[in-house]
Amino acid sequence: MIRKKQSLFILALSVLVALAQCKKDKIKDHTEDENPALVAAGKETFRFDSFGDEEFWSGLLHLDKAIAGANNGGFGPGVSPKTALAVGLKVDAEALPANVVAAIQSGAVSLDDPATTLALLKLNAVVGVKGNFDASGVLKSIGITCASCHSTVDNSFAPGIGKRLDGWPNRDLNVGTIVSLTDNAQPIADLLHVDEPTLRNVLSLWGPGKFAAVLFMDGKALRPDGKVAANLIPAAFGMKGVGLTTYTGWGDITYWNSFVANLEMHGKGNFSDPHLNDATKYPIAAENHFGNVTNNPDLITSKLAALRAYQYSIDAPKPPAGSFDQAAATRGKDIFLNKAKCASCHVPPLFTEPVNNLHTAAEIGIDDFEALRSPTGKYRTTPLGGLFARAKGGFYHDGRFAILDDVVAHYNSQFNLNLSTNEKQDLAEYLKSL
Ligand code: HEC
Ligand code: HEC
């Protein structure tokens, strides 16, 4: 009897030890990504690192000179703060010293003068745009950072001016219009084998909140229906646990971060992906050896671990109280999980599949144009957390559904769900609550 008790005790003890070990291992798994110093370093990188991309945005495109304007050593009218805000650039109110805030409030500082934009750049207050000044205070170059597209502000000071919201897509940013400020579009036109007016026309068609990353790989500027091919800037929050990233699952988060920093921002790093050597699928990339980029020094690779840690630290934001009908959302949740089977793909809590998150175009009832441009040939189930923070510009990769009711209506017919009008409304309300 005593022996039995003893062995039970030993068994219990060993289970406890094993559990503790398990917990330790789990902690060990996550320590790297949750290390506060790494997260802080990643935040710096996300907000302020241009990875040496000045050579492209200033050296080649001369955007520093376009911003400064002829009166400040550049060309053209320059970019006033009003113009900058109108093309969707955001100002970080917390970077503004009290005297500047007071001067803006009293109207002593002109928001119509490009010189004010230069002053804001000097304060490092233009979200996602890094200005480099010489000792005498003259703007020498600008670079762009991840935050230009993947941060916005809370408008607490004025429209477009407020506290940073990292990870929220900037759906006001008109990347095409900004690139079009260049006086040297020819090299980009040459890259894509089109003439300059054609390039400028395509850039003008993207519109706010959109960018065409794959254009610079396969040269496809238009969809088969003749409309411009450009994707909505997605959220960079709520990414922890999401396997494949991008609308078409190009790769994991570190793959894509490196892809963008090297091939879209034109930072200076090392990048390799044999897919891009396929001259049939990716003629532009193959011709320009985008599948095998090397730079010395490499200003990107050593920062990728921190960048990921920071992105993983940004949870999807919760919608403000009162922005949806709670009772309807509760009913909608039941429809999401049961009758409409949305959760068969959008698995809570990430609202994407933990492992294989890819689907054919036919499965979701849309055309396969964008899917086939990706090495996967498929669409990735979009994580749905914080949908309210990216409602502007619409839903699905290219914003084809203007509002959530349109998304629900699409699924209702695609999957023959037979949802009543009330059920559709409840489902949309639930989506707003995520
Ligand atoms: C010019 C705007 C722009 C810049 C700058 C930019 N991105 Fe993106 N990002 C996009 C767009 C557009 C997509 C969607 C790509 C697609 O699927 O077609 C995207 C996709 C992503 C995704 C995938 C999100 C998801 O839902 O899976 C991540 C992560 C990401 N970007 C991180 C970054 C990081 C990190 C940087 C800086 C190194 C960066 N981006 C710079 C526009 C931008
Ligand atoms: C077969 C898998 C699958 C099912 C089932 C499914 N979805 Fe999706 N969902 C996807 C994929 C893939 C996308 C990305 C489509 C794109 O970007 O073009 C998506 C995108 C979305 C989006 C757009 C997100 C954004 O930010 O653009 C919403 C909203 C959505 N789904 C809601 C639902 C609802 C509601 C249901 C149930 C009625 C549902 N989904 C059922 C796979 C699925």
Segment 261-273, tens digit of pLDDT? 999 999 999 999 9
The answer to whether the CB of 336 falls within 8 A of the CB of 342 is yes
Distances (CA, A) of 190 to 184, 217, 285: 11, 14, 13
Question: How does pLDDT run across 325-344, given as a tens digit for each residue?
Answer: 999 999 999 999 999 999 99
Query: pLDDT band at 33, cuts 50/70/90?
Result: confident
Decide: residue 254, CB within 10 A, 0-12 exposed, 13-18 middle, 19+ buried. middle
Q: 77 preceded by cis ω (within 30°)?
A: no
First to last CA, the chain: 56
| pLDDT value at 16 more than 50 | no
Give the length of the chain. 434
Torsion of CA 210, 42, 157, 169, to 10 degrees: 20
| Closest ligand 2 atom, residue 390 Cα | 26
Question: How does pLDDT run across 139-159, given as a tens digit for each residue?
Answer: 999 999 999 999 999 999 999
| pLDDT value at 315 more than 80 | yes
- In the numeric block, the tokens 């490092």 are attached to 124
The answer to whether the CB of 359 falls within 8 A of the CB of 345 is yes
| pLDDT value at 254 more than 90 | yes
pLDDT, greater one: 214 or 28: 214
The answer to whether the CB of 109 falls within 8 A of the CB of 100 is yes
Q: What percent of the chain has pLDDT over 90?
A: 91
Pocket mutation for ligand 1, best pick of 50, 260, 372 (most atoms within 8 Å of C-beta): 260
Q: How far is the CA of 339 from the centre of ligand 1 (A)?
A: 34
Can you tell me the mean pLDDT for 355-371? 97
pLDDT of residue 355: 87
Can you tell me the mean pLDDT for 97-121? 94
Q: How far is the CA of 136 from the centre of ligand 2 (A)?
A: 53
Angle in degrees, CA 433, 431, 229, rounded to 5 = 130
CB within 8 A of 373, min separation 6: which ones? Answer: 214, 217, 218, 220, 248, 281
| pLDDT value at 382 more than 60 | yes
| pLDDT value at 277 more than 70 | yes
- Ligand 1, atom 13, lies closest to the CA of 233
The answer to whether the CB of 248 falls within 8 A of the CB of 401 is no
